[in-house]
Amino acid sequence: MAVSASVSLKRAKRRLRKFAREDTMSGPIRVLFVCMGNICRSPTAEGVFRHQVEQAGLSHLILADSAGTIDYHAGDAPDHRARAAAARRGYDLSPVRARQVTPQDFETFHYLLAMDRDNLAYLHRVSPAEHRPKARLFLEFATNASVREVPDPYYGPAGGFEHVLDLAEDASRGLLAHIMDQLKASSSR
């Protein structure tokens, strides 16, 4: 079984490298997670997804970043409660610093994943028309979530940060599976 999984992972990595070369944007697949301030939800999603990509051995082929729709917290580390909740599950958010979405992000990233409908509406409003389909709700990739938006835990109890992690773990698994499925489909053409 381990040999079969190893062979499958090697094939998936080859497909991902081929997809990255064929794509109009050269290099790795790039994913941007977006919330309002870039200090709670989107850095959590970035950290969780990055960890899952690293565990799959694909960190040289898939890159993650996060940004906010406002620049109020630009340069700040994620909220201390988000960092603490993430650390309890083995995720390191310390390298993340808040920044605002830029026009260049629409050119650079393959996926711009909003945490809620308000942030998605912002992305659609500021996006060039040809890049609008790249902006989606992050929880579209969740398989077990009964909600479509990641709630903002900033003003709520500490348990809200755990809920955000639950949602981010689920949606990140789905996103990684989606990217792998896209690679399989593109390699069979």
Average pLDDT, the chain: 88
Our answer to whether residue 152 is catalytic in this structure is yes
* Residue 71 burial (C-beta neighbours within 10 Å; 0-12, 13-18, 19+): middle
Our answer to whether residue 81 is catalytic in this structure is no
- CA separation, residue 144 to residues 40, 57, 74, 134 (Å): 21, 24, 32, 23
Helix (H) or strand (E) holding 42: helix 41-55
Q: What is the mean pLDDT of residues 33-60?
A: 97
**What single letter denotes the amino acid at residue 72?**
Y
Domains by residue range for the chain, with CATH? 29-184 (3.40.50.2300)
pLDDT 10s digits, 132-187: 999 999 999 999 989 999 999 999 998 999 999 999 999 999 999 999 888 777 76
Token pair listed for 97: 């610093």
Q: What is the mean pLDDT of residues 52-64?
A: 94
Secondary structure E strands in the chain: 29-35, 62-68, 111-114, 135-137
Q: Among 65, 79, 105, 152, which one carries the catalytic annotation?
A: 152
Q: What is the pLDDT of residue 17?
A: 45
Q: How many helices (H) and strands (E) does the chain have?
A: 6, 4
Q: Among 15, 30, 35, 81, which one carries the catalytic annotation?
A: 35
- Other C-beta atoms closer than 10 Å to the C-beta of 97 total 15
Confidence class of residue 119 from pLDDT cuts 50, 70 and 90?
A: very high
Q: Among 15, 30, 41, 83, which one carries the catalytic annotation?
A: 41
pLDDT 10s digits, 80-99: 999 999 999 999 999 999 99
Our answer to whether residue 35 is catalytic in this structure is yes
